[in-house]
Structure 1
Amino acid sequence: MDPELLALAQGGVGTGGLQTWIQENVVPLVLLGIAVILLWIGGRGDNAGVARRSVGLIIGLVALGIAVSGNGPQIGSFLASLLTG
């Protein structure tokens, strides 16, 4: 076998590269698209529509941040402690 191929195979297979690429490229493009759409809707004079959509977007971005950071269990424990004391 080729020694380069063996060295590559020993590194293992993971999704870290794909996750990093999505965080660095896809997420900013989606956020830019959302901002452009909100500015376009606001330019038409539908400020109430922009406010309504912005609240949903903030909730979605918080969920995305929790999912990407990997801190879901800690945040869940914190929120549960707020209710249970």
Structure 2
Amino acid sequence: MSTMMTLASLAQQEGEITTGGLQTWLQNNVIPLLLLTVAVLLLWLGGGRGDNAGVMRRLGGVVIALAVIGLAVSGAGVDVGTWISSLFTG
């Protein structure tokens, strides 16, 4: 029980608890590792068999996924959503 009180008092002393550090760590470490893994797998699985067209199809999906991650991380998704809704509302 004293541990919980210590954590609560520490949180009150430090101010607001945010996930900014975790988000920065993920952007700097996990995303590049995932990209490297995807690139190696694409080259290994498709390039080794000579299936260059299949590699390019998969690469298109990776580019779309990167665009979605970029929108989510940068916060520009709200602006894109506003623009898309303005196309339908006139």
TM-score bin (small chain): 0.7 to 0.9
1:46 is aligned to 2:46? no
1:65 deviates by 0.4
TM-score, normalised via structure 1 length: 0.79
1:72 is aligned to 2:77? yes
Q: Counterparts of 1:24 and 1:80 in 2: how far apart (Å)? A: 32
Q: What amino acid is aligned across from residue 76 of structure 2 in structure 1? A: N
Partner in structure 1 of residue 14 of structure 2 = 10
Describe the shift of the 1:7–1:65 C-alpha distance in structure 2 as closer, same or farther (beyond 3 A).
closer
Q: Secondary structure at the match of 2:59?
A: helix
| Sequence identity (%) | 58
Partner in structure 1 of residue 3 of structure 2 = none
Query: For structure 1, which runs of at least 5 residues remain unmatched after alignment?
Result: none
Name segments (4+ residues, structure 1) moved above 6 Å: none
Q: In the alignment, is the contact (CA less than 8 A) between 2:11 and 2:17 conserved in 1?
A: no
Describe the shift of the 1:82–1:34 C-alpha distance in structure 2 as closer, same or farther (beyond 3 A).
same
Count of matched residue positions in the alignment of Structure 1 and Structure 2: 81
1:12 deviates by 2.5
TM-score, normalised via structure 2 length: 0.75
| Relative contact order higher in (CA < 8 Å, ≥ 6 apart) | 2
Query: For structure 2, which runs of at least 5 residues remain unmatched after alignment?
Result: 1-8
